[in-house]
Chains A and B, each alone.
Chain A
Amino acid sequence: MSNLIETKYAIELKGVSKIFGSVVANDNINLNIKYGEILALLGENGSGKTTLMNMLSGIYYPDAGTISIAGDEVSISSPTDAINYGIGMIHQHFKLVEVLNAMDNIVLGTKEKYLKPKILKDKILNISSKFGLEIEPEKKIYNMSVSEKQTVEILKVLYRGAQILILDEPTAVLTPQETEKLFAILRKMKEQGSAIIIITHKLHEVLSVSDRVAILRKGKLIDTVKTEDSNEKQLTELMVGRPVSLKINRPEVESKKTILNVVDLSVMNEDGSLGLKNINFKLKRGEILGVAGIAGSGQKELCESIAGLIKIKSGAVLCNKENIIGKTPDEIINLGISMSFVPEDRLGMGLVGSMGMVENMMLKSYRKSKGFFIDKKPSRKLAEYLKNKLQIVTPNVDMPVRMMSGGNVQKVLLGREIDSNPNVLITAYPVRGLDINSSYVIYDLLNEQKLKGVAVLFIGEDLDVLLELSDRIMVLCNGEMKGIVDTKETTKEEIGLMMAGKSFKGVEGDE
């Protein structure tokens, strides 16, 4: 058996295609991966990475081509089949049942007999120690952090004895330290003979963890390169299809006047704990203040308290020395404070999925028009303008935004907020899940606003981007501000440690 594993490919795809309606998501893909190898799958949004992997995990069925596992041609028509062939997939959005504990989630759907909790617990702890994972088997999923949930997902796959592991953007929600830990686990699994496919946007991660890189563009496999023979520049060019500058501009703006002053802001969560604890910072015109932190460290509460969407416990938010606490969201918008929050499901806040671009534009402007009937013309004009300026890909401006790809939806949201000529622009995760091209369009938009003298609060998840784009970075951990650092004088490691809860001397507070 071990001999077999050495000589045969773990997975071999031959001429695999998948078509959705008129869209060719995957076009004649030929790809293979060996046991004991980590393959990175790189590509922009809509290049067909997830579709391809979903065919391996049984969510989609290929329209053409063959899939071979360990040398045998197979037909994977359901997730059950995939599991039986030893393929485990860790999805971008975790597939866990919140009200069950880790153990129940791990054994869920397995064919074996009902095990007594005690025996099951030992079995799970055994596997986790083998791969260096840390887990509390009896903890409920809804009490877990993102990184713990991911551990459960990995254990789910390992418990089923999967030899082939597929991870869809596993690092998007992790701190740099947690990412390193994950990579250590992946390397350990590789040593034990697993074949691992990792989908990611982050080039430096590709370079650090993978053995080979397969690049997809517009549904086609462009090339497969050895990681050691490659570099960021080459990978980007293969991915985008033309040379791209990877540097994010950080234009300097003179005469910085404070416009937003947040003093001792505290917010109470629904469960009675503090969502934000005594936050103090000043936001100036012509600067981008980055906010770093693990997901759920108080970013949402910060956005919503400034936008007037949630009640605050104590403190003040001064906009041009006027306290905006207690004002309605409408009054706050009229003061020129504009928020665009891109939640995990991208559509959750700000846009109505079943409405087209025109109607979504109108959501913010209809109150200004007079008369009983609504006037769609200005909104239509604005929608057409944004479509051209931001290169939004949609057949027409009336198509429901839900049908558009994530990147385009985000451009619609941000475009509408910027069009209202705000003084303060709060933007959370504007490039969430976006590919390099679309991300740079967004960065350019933000820089343009900064040059116009807008104060930008940029809540991000990718530390590299935060470090390049913002002038200063505020770090949140568990609702507490761990300090504000100047991006020119800090390192990624320092911010990573602050995100994990460490305060640094000399950087706390705001001058």
Chain B
Amino acid sequence: MNMFINFLVAAVFAGTPLLFGTVGEIMNEKSGHLNLGVEGMMSLGACAGFMAGFLTNNLLIALLAAFVAGLAGALIYAILTITFMADQNVTGLTLTIFGIGLSNFFGEYMLVNSNTNSLKLPENIAAQISNIYIPVLSDIPVIGQLFFQYNPFVYLGIVIAISCGIYLNHTKLGLNLRAIGENPGAADAAGIKVTKLKYLNVLLGGGICGIGGAYCSMIINGGVWMSNSVNGLGWISVALVIFASWSPNKAVFGSFIFGAFNILKYYTPKTYFTIPNAFYDMLPFVITALVLIITSIRKSKENQQPASCGINYFREER
């Protein structure tokens, strides 16, 4: 029982960076832009967030830096695909390569110029990002452990996801955005400012991805800078968007399930069988493939990728 609760808690921790990446990508895809640069935007956020935290010792500034860095990555993507109509897939892939490279370059630069040959977050910020403790609530057996003992990122992620869900499904702006993702021509003819809304959401999505990156560099590695801290989580997030069927609310559960897959290898008894770790690493992708198959069999028009996702919109095209 205790082991199982530990497993669930670990799954939530492992799933949180995925949650940011997934919600960010959902905001992108809902505006009709398939952004394969999630990994890159997260890497940019990882570097900027960590370094800002390292230099200022202030969590708020670190988060802001991560958000802005992810947003800046998305801005490159947005200018290329929305304004200049570049191919979305190629641009996204390039952004991934660029983001990882720049993040590692800057991290390495800071590392070789430091006195200690390692970068560790200062104590103040390290304390701020450690697990919270709420008197009474956190002490409730099981429930306290399951709900009230995470670090601030976890709660922030859930709040962002739910806010995005409300934004998409219950506001006029969200309705306009969904229309753009489905049929930009229709949205344009209805008087919606397509380009402006696309920029807004691609940038917002990029910023959210950036915070996810900060989680990777600041939490996963225990507050010590390491290169390649995102390490493929951005790609899993892209797959998770499909698993969550483009709903930020479902993304919350989806990311925790995927997080569980990620850490499953540490919680399976090793004595009975020895399955290679690679098998567990594969699981999220197998599940995503299954989800894709099931949704394509169901042929529902809803809970699908926005119809114009991946296609740039040009008003005067004939």
Chain B residue at minimum C-beta to C-beta distance from A112: B172
Chain B residue at minimum C-beta to C-beta distance from A111: B191
Q: How many A-B residue pairs have CB under 8 A?
A: 78
Tally of contact residues, B, Cβ under 8 A? 25
Query: Quick check: A108 and B179 within 8 Å, CB to CB?
Result: yes
Judged by a CB distance under 8 angstroms, whether B108 is at the interface is no
A113 to B175, CA, bound (A): 12
Can you show 20 pairs from A to B with CB atoms below 8 A apart? A59-B316, A78-B191, A79-B191, A80-B191, A91-B189, A94-B186, A96-B183, A96-B186, A97-B182, A99-B182, A99-B302, A104-B175, A105-B179, A107-B175, A108-B179, A108-B187, A108-B192, A110-B190, A114-B170, A140-B301
Judged by a CB distance under 8 angstroms, whether B307 is at the interface is yes
Q: Which residues of B lie under 8 Å from residue A110 when comparing CB positions?
A: 190-191
Query: Quick check: B182 and A108 within 8 Å, CB to CB?
Result: no
Q: Say yes or no: A98-B301 contact (C-beta < 8 A), given A59-B315, A80-B193.
A: yes
A109 to B186, CA, bound (A): 10
Nearest 4 pairs between A and B by C-beta? A109-B190, A95-B186, A80-B191, A109-B192
Query: Quick check: B179 and A97 within 8 Å, CB to CB?
Result: yes
Judged by a CB distance under 8 angstroms, whether A142 is at the interface is yes
Judged by a CB distance under 8 angstroms, whether B185 is at the interface is yes
The smallest C-beta distance from A138 to any residue of chain B, in angstroms, reads: 14
Residue from the list B178, B191, B193 in contact with A97, Cβ < 8 A: B178
Judged by a CB distance under 8 angstroms, whether A270 is at the interface is yes
Q: Which residues of A lie under 8 Å from residue B182 when comparing CB positions?
A: 97-100
Residue from the list B170, B172, B178, B315 in contact with A100, Cβ < 8 A: B178
A162 to B301, CA, bound (A): 31
Query: Quick check: B186 and A79 within 8 Å, CB to CB?
Result: no
Given A83-B191, A270-B299, A271-B299, list of 20 further CB < 8 A pairs?
A57-B189, A60-B316, A78-B191, A80-B191, A94-B186, A95-B188, A96-B186, A97-B182, A97-B187, A99-B182, A99-B302, A99-B307, A100-B175, A105-B179, A105-B186, A107-B172, A107-B175, A108-B175, A108-B187, A110-B191
Q: Say yes or no: A95-B301 contact (C-beta < 8 A), given A59-B315, A100-B179, A104-B175.
A: no
Judged by a CB distance under 8 angstroms, whether A187 is at the interface is no
Chain A 105-125, CB-CB to B under 8 Å as 1, else 0, gives: 101111001100000000000
The smallest C-beta distance from B92 to any residue of chain A, in angstroms, reads: 24
Q: Which residues of A contact B (CB under 8 A)?
A: 57, 59-60, 78-80, 82-84, 89, 91, 94-100, 104-105, 107-110, 113-114, 140, 142, 156, 270-271
Residue from the list A82, A95, A107, A270 in contact with B183, Cβ < 8 A: A95
Q: Which residues of B lie under 8 Å from residue A89 when comparing CB positions?
A: 189
Residue from the list A57, A80, A84, A114 in contact with B172, Cβ < 8 A: A114
* Most-contacted residue by chain A among B172, B178, B307, B316 (CB, 10 A): B172
A351 to B50, CA, bound (A): 55
A97 to B194, CA, bound (A): 14
The smallest C-beta distance from B301 to any residue of chain A, in angstroms, reads: 5
